[in-house]
Chains A and B, each alone.
Chain A
Amino acid sequence: MHLEQLIRERRTIRKFNGIPVSENLVMQLMLKAEQLCPYEGEARWRYVYAGTPEAREKLADYLSEKIMGNKMTKLALGKLVESFHKRFMEVPANVIAIAKTDPVPGKNAEAYGRLCRILQNFQLLAWEQQLGMVWKTEPAPVLQNEQFYNRIGLNEDERFVGLLQIGYFDKAPKGRTRTPAERRWTAMESSSFGNV
């Protein structure tokens, strides 16, 4: 029953308490996440970690830079961005997940899909350790823009898959019910081998 419960009870966590997160633990869980997603050959993905106060400040700078670079938005949103910056900096651990791209569409989708599956394993494994996270994919000007990609060192043959903000938490939000699978279900069956 444990696994079903784990999958159903995991929540996205956006508000963390101040308890520090060990980089070693994050790495161990990510390695287990990969092991739970068997693959052949080379890994076509990588991770960039920001956990020290210096690295977190740098990441917060990168995340606010694009908005602050524009004089108009700086005037209008300066205060707001400052509070964003502070919140970004307070996130105990950050993992940027990056996948290799490939001119062959199938290979491209394969690497992206596999990394997504690894990140889901990681979310579940972390939840088992009372560690919460949010998988961020916000559009520009915060995340998905060239300036940010340059800052984090994204190569030409790579794509940004997500920023995981990770930390311990005091309160988990309530879950929102899901649509039953039966309502999204089509069966193609032969009468000889149908509903068993």
Chain B
Amino acid sequence: MKLIDQVIVPLSELQIDHHRPVSQKLVLELLNHAVWAPNHMLREPWRFIYVDRGEVDKLEWFSHHPAAHLIIVIKNSSNPMKQNENIAAAFCLIQNFQLLANERELGVNICVHKWMSDRQACAKLGVSEKETIVAVLELAYGVKHQGGRQRKLPNSLNWSLLSEG
């Protein structure tokens, strides 16, 4: 199917199947496509931490529903402009991952949590002071809620022309 014909069903709209695990093998397979995201000077600033459900139970600030979590971490740059470029690249990778997962009927929630900047939480995950957690992806299989609320898709853009300025 062409991308133009795809529809994204996020994890929040799925009835989670708690018996179906999300394997490391699959996540790695999808990531190896997702890393083709554009990134400045091919810095590939990212690394990945996969947390399975058994481990999540030991981390109180994680949601316990998804089958697995994937944490996207970048190396910090002292140059704020480069830091922003690195964050942008990581989000392009995350979007690739969501599109690929969606095609395999794997639900993804892309979360930006307050605790991501908490030093203690980071240390527990092995994230150093020279790194930043960009997002936490919650992963699970599920079926679409029956009779669930139909999400409204955007139908217009905040669009203006330069000459109007």
Residues on A lying within 8 angstroms of B by beta carbon are 2-4, 6-8, 10, 12, 27, 29-32, 34-39, 43, 45-50, 52, 54-55, 58-59, 94, 96, 105-106, 109-110, 112-114, 116-117, 119-121, 123-125, 128, 135, 137, 139, 144, 151-153, 161-162, 175-176, 178-182, 184-196
Contacts and interface: CB of A to CB of B under 8 A. Distances in A.
B52 A194 contact: yes
Contacts of B53: 190, 193
A126 B138 CA distance: 28
Contact of B36 (A8, A31, A110, A117): A8
A133 B91 CA distance: 18
A112 B159 contact: no
Contact of A181 (B35, B99, B163): B35
B44 A178 contact: yes
A94 B48 CA distance: 34
A36 B81 CA distance: 27
B154 interface: yes
A185 B165 contact: no
Contacts of B15: none
Contacts, number: 214
B59 to A, nearest CB: 9
B51 interface: yes
Nearest to A185: B48
Taking residues whose C-beta sits less than 8 angstroms from the other chain, chain B's interface range is: 35 or more
B154 A196 contact: no
Given A29-B4, A48-B165, A116-B92, 6 more contacts: A8-B33, A31-B154, A31-B155, A96-B162, A117-B110, A190-B53
Interface in B108-145: 110, 112-114, 117, 125-126, 134-135
14 contacts: A7-B37, A7-B96, A50-B163, A52-B163, A116-B88, A116-B95, A121-B3, A121-B99, A144-B81, A153-B165, A186-B126, A187-B24, A187-B49, A187-B51
User: Which residue, B8, B21, B161, has most C-beta atoms of chain A within 10 A?
Assistant: B161
Contacts of B40: 137
Q: Which of A58, A152, A190 has the most CB of B within 10 A?
A: A190
B78 interface: no
Given A120-B91, A195-B23, A180 B2 contact: no
Contact of B162 (A30, A152, A180): A152
